[in-house]
Structure 1
Amino acid sequence: MPVPGRRGLVSRSLLREEAYRAIRDAIVEGALAPGERLNDAELVEWLGVSRTPVREALGRLEHNGLVRTKPGRYTIVSPLDSRAERAAQSVTAAMHQLAVREALFDLTAVELDAMRTANARFAHALAEEDVDAALAADDAFHDVAVTASANPAVRSVLDQFTPVLRRVERLRFGSLGGRESVAQHERIIALCEAGDVDGAAAAVHANWQTLAPLLDAAPPAGEPPRE
């Protein structure tokens, strides 16, 4: 299993959360590719932590759909799976719609400006073909409503299901097709500013639906590795 080049990424004093995030990000960013075998010893060496937080991180990642394990046989990065991704998209879209509905009347001018600023960064990142910056700016845009909703259940569900979509989003924001989201974000802001709850919720749903063509193009779940 070729792991990313940096070693000692996580300090031994840090908790399992950092190990989880490091492995998750490597999967989402493609450093650990779909179908790739994951070796505990190599992950331990890379992260600079003991085997326990690595195993706990892999357990969480399996629960979140990013890792597949057959006890005593193999642990792999989950193959791209259109069915799992469509399910994650449905849940994620619903949570963002709920966040907008719960937050809209509490959104201040400062928060609307934060959405505009994030969308400007998003547009610039797309123009520069900087996928990492585009994803960060898109996260910042949608996070305004999620934070304003003050609903911990929404945050928890999004933390679980959003990473499943990240591999697909990297493809989307690396293409011209991702640029339509800039105008969609502008429409969401305008509807929020106008106090149109139903319109803003529908616009958020439409924004997340732009992933559908890439999800449809993804293959169904792959076969487990042969012994």
Structure 2
Amino acid sequence: MPIPRNAPAVERHLLRESVYHRLRDAIVDGTLAPGEQLRDVDLAAWLGVSRTPVREALLRLAEAGLIAAQPGRSTTVTSLDGQDVREVRDVVAAMHQLAVLQAIGRLRDSDVEAMRLANARFREAIAAGDVEAALVADGELHGVPVSVASNRALVTVLEQYTPVLCRAERLRFSSASAGVSADRHDELIRACADGDADRAARAAAGTWSTLPALE
């Protein structure tokens, strides 16, 4: 898909983060498709910024595995690779396990209720075939224990690698197996409500095992 020719200008405050998030989201949602060549001058013109924050964003995207940069040659959006997804999935699952273990004992009733409401929105989105809404609700649910754990190192790892999984989750949430994710969410929520750290940690990891197998 060609780079869109019209887009709102990036606000000047937090410019670097804004540019990174805009490009990251464009890759995750398919606006910038796998295999598409990226030129910093075109991206800068699209976003209405200089080339410097775009170049910085591209470096971060390469570290996360969302783009492949070959110095002096080309920069392209990566395709989903089964091995890469499995490796990232294992890291992200471990981080969510850790978040749950650190959050148990500090989760309030309102936190558990927020998870229940997020899963209800998730089920509704799946039933309606709204993948975007499902992704948002899924992120809100898992974000509760991450927020309560308040571990900055953990958050940094998740921010770097979760976007890779979001691309694979689009396949899962549009498939017939999407309901399995909601059921696993229920297991996690019950364990959190019971204050059972080991069961909650297993459930947190289990939610990622339903990602589609990519060959």
**TM-score normalised to the size of structure 1?**
0.91
Report if aligned partners of 1:89, 1:208 keep a CA contact under 8 Å in 2. yes
In 2, Cα distance between equivalents of 1:132 and 1:166: 10
SS of equivalent to 2:177: helix
* Aligned: 1:205 with 2:202: no
Report if aligned partners of 1:68, 1:77 keep a CA contact under 8 Å in 2. yes
Alignment match, 1:221: none
Alignment match, 1:142: 142
Report if aligned partners of 1:188, 1:200 keep a CA contact under 8 Å in 2. yes
SS of equivalent to 1:190: helix
Alignment match, 2:153: 153
In 2, Cα distance between equivalents of 1:8 and 1:15: 13
Alignment match, 1:217: 214
**TM-score normalised to the size of structure 2?**
0.96
Letter in 1 for 2:173: F
Alignment match, 1:62: 62
Query: After TM superposition, which residue ranges in structure 1, 4 or more long, deviate above 4 angstroms?
Result: none
Q: How many residue pairs end up in the alignment?
A: 215
Q: Cα deviation per residue 1:4-23 (whole Å; 9 max; x = unaligned)?
A: 35334413555111111001
Which structure 2 residues correspond to residues 4-83 of structure 1 after superposition, within 5 A?
A: 4-12=4-12, 14-83=14-83
TM-align CA RMSD: 1.3
In 2, Cα distance between equivalents of 1:46 and 1:60: 19
| Structure 1 residue 61 displacement after superposition | 0.3
In 2, Cα distance between equivalents of 1:135 and 1:73: 34
Alignment match, 1:98: 98
5+ residue gaps, structure 2: none
Report if aligned partners of 1:12, 1:48 keep a CA contact under 8 Å in 2. no
In 1, Cα distance between equivalents of 2:191 and 2:98: 15
5+ residue gaps, structure 1: 219-227
Of stretches 175-184 and 2-11 in structure 1, the one that deviates more from structure 2 is 2-11
Of stretches 88-97 and 178-187 in structure 1, the one that deviates more from structure 2 is 178-187
Alignment match, 1:84: 84
